[in-house]
Structure 1
Amino acid sequence: MARAHTRTGDLSAAMDELTRAREAAPQWLRHQNGAAETMQEILGKRKRTLPTEMREMADYLGVIG
């Protein structure tokens, strides 16, 4: 769902999905390539400075952007 939201430009909803997944299964999410790829897409679509929430999630997933 997060990737679908990202691709339709709803980055807020995408972050909500990633946050819910992290809350439900933090160790599982950390090892999901799809989550990292989605976060990379989110970072690529941001035009302004990243909010704290996005920086923390990118850091958590090991995504550099």
Structure 2
Amino acid sequence: MPAPAPAPAPAIAASQTPAAAPARRYRNAEGQVWDGEGPMPAWLLRAVNAGQSVEHFRVS
């Protein structure tokens, strides 16, 4: 008699998968962050309007 087939692995529900934290693409000296999604936050908009480059705040 052949060996029984192994049981399939249980499926993981979507609610059980860990959510990935949003990437922090931009950060200022005060620790404020922006992931680059949605409208630009006020702190970054003020810096850009003052002549600073957005790339200056990019997190590598």
Q: Could you state the TM-score of these two structures normalised by the residue count of structure 2? A: 0.31
Q: Which has the larger radius of gyration?
A: 2
The structure with the largest strand share of the pair is 2
Q: Could you state the TM-score of these two structures normalised by the residue count of structure 1? A: 0.29
The structure with the largest helix share of the pair is 1
